[in-house]
Structure 1
Amino acid sequence: MPGDRETSIYISDYVRPEKLEQRRSVDPETILPPPRRNSQTRLRYVPPKVGNPTPLGLSAFALSVMVLSLYDCHAFGIHIPNAAVGVSLFTGGVVQFAAGMWEFKVGNTFGGTGFSAFGGFWASFGVLYLDSFGIKQAFQSTDGDLDGYYNALGVYGAAWTIFTFIFTIACLRTNLGVLSAFVFLTGDFVFYTIFQFSQVAIFETISGVLGLICSMIVWYCFAAVLWTPDLSPISLPLWDLSKKDQ
């Protein structure tokens, strides 16, 4: 009968009184209340598993550098780099910035700083070629002279050269793959800056070649990190440079 039930919202908890008496006589422990939790006891929170964001950041970086470097080398007769805007804004910008935020989440300050900063670089670089921002038009004089614009890009490149050089020093105890990538990237920025100040075409080509080499190295690092034993029978070394305890 409903009036005989114990107060509960689960029907499976209901035990008829006669059955309860049988339990008391057979096994008294079945009706004992659960032991009280000690006030000192604390539940340990187990965080959800987070995937490795490094392959995503490396792939976005390698792809963006490769595309822009091919344009700088004027490969396939390309002389206008505006087709790289989408890659710069979304692959190099959004995707890489997101990877950087997740690197911070997993406790990797180096990867978080690098990916996030270069995500900002690619986004800002893509904006330079968007007419709606009017950046180039703002520097153009009445006679069509763009010296001020190119000097501004030179300053822009110089600032990123400093950042990249500092980051290269921070790579000295990572691994040979990452270190060599940043060495070539620093050279890429150096010649990009020189080209913007001088407008001598050979410096742009050198910048593009160094960028291509950098992108190939980053592609290698991407494969080395992504090809884990559970995904691929192939493994690639990165040649650890970290200081070992003696």
Structure 2
Amino acid sequence: MAAQEQAPALANPGPLGLVGFGLTTVLLSLINAGLLPAGGEPVVIPLALAYGGLIQLIAGLLEYRTGNTFGLVAFLSFGAFWWWFALMLLMGDNGLLDLSEAGSTIGIALILWGVFTFYMWIATFKLNKALWFVFLTLWVTFFLLGIGAAASMPTLHMLGGYLGIVCGGSAMYTSFGEVTNATFGRPVIPLGAR
């Protein structure tokens, strides 16, 4: 009887999706926190489409191949979030959408993203602590930004920006840890295994 060929090992697409999310989140959050000028948003738009959006969509589709439901839902959803955000800004800046009175609706949309992220955070209770922290800071960030926009409270928006920096940075750290640990074939970067 012929020996069965083993299927090649599949790479983990999670670190790719995490860094696409994290890097884009840090850049936008620096603007939301007031550490970079609001006029820098046009720099975020192509990054949101290409790295925050497209790369996460690709990572989500690759998660399907690995059988990771959590990764599939997270990366496809947040990839779509970045496309929504970038398209909204592009259309608003080019007069295709009138966003002048949309603050409360944008705020509610961000709160709904917070609700989605909250239930994804519950699922991270079975994953490593680094992912748990990414999703904890993300759902709180969405609520701060959403309430800040819906209630016209710039201080909450700014706090959401600062927490978004922490969230995006922790996503980049988690990506770094997963790539490094896979490369070394052993835990080198602590991720807080459960």
TM-score over 0.5 (shorter chain) = yes
Q: Is 1:165–2:118 an aligned residue pair?
A: yes
The structure-2 alpha-carbon separation of the partners of 1:51 and 1:238, relative to structure 1 and needing over 3 Å to count, comes to same
Q: CA deviation at 1:45?
A: 6.0
- Partners of 1:239 and 1:133 in 2: CA distance: 47
Task: Give 2:30's aligned residue.
Answer: 70
Q: Higher relative CO (CA 8 A, sep ≥ 6), structure 1 or 2? A: 2
Q: Does 1:100 align with 2:60?
A: yes
Deviation at 1:50, TM superposition (A): 2.4
Are residues 1:238 and 2:177 paired? no
**Correspondence list, 1:198-209, <5 A:** 198-209=151-162
Contact 2:25–2:164 (CA under 8 A) maintained in structure 1 = yes
Root-mean-square deviation over aligned CA pairs = 2.2
Task: Tell me the percent identity.
Answer: 26
* 1:201 partner letter: P
In the alignment, structure 2 segments of 5+ residues that lack a partner are: none
Q: Distance in 1 between matches of 2:14 and 2:74?
A: 11
Which one has the bigger helix percentage?
A: 2
**CA drift at 1:230:** 4.1
Q: Kindly state the Cα deviation for residue 234 of structure 1 after the two structures are TM-superposed.
A: 8.1
CA contact 1:181–1:214 (8 Å) conserved in 2: yes
What is the Cα deviation at residue 238 of structure 1? 1.1
**One-letter code aligned to 2:67:** G
Gaps of 5+ in 1: 1-40, 140-145, 242-246
Segments of 4+ moved more than 3 angstroms = 41-49, 229-234
Q: Match of 2:61, as an amino acid? A: M
Q: Distance in 2 between matches of 1:70 and 1:86?
A: 16
Which residue does the alignment assign to 2:89?
A: 129
In 2, Cα distance between equivalents of 1:159 and 1:133: 26
1:58/1:219 contact within 8 Å kept = yes
Task: Name the count of aligned residue pairs.
Answer: 191
Secondary structure (helix, strand or coil) at the match of 1:163 reads helix
The letter of the residue matching 2:107 is G
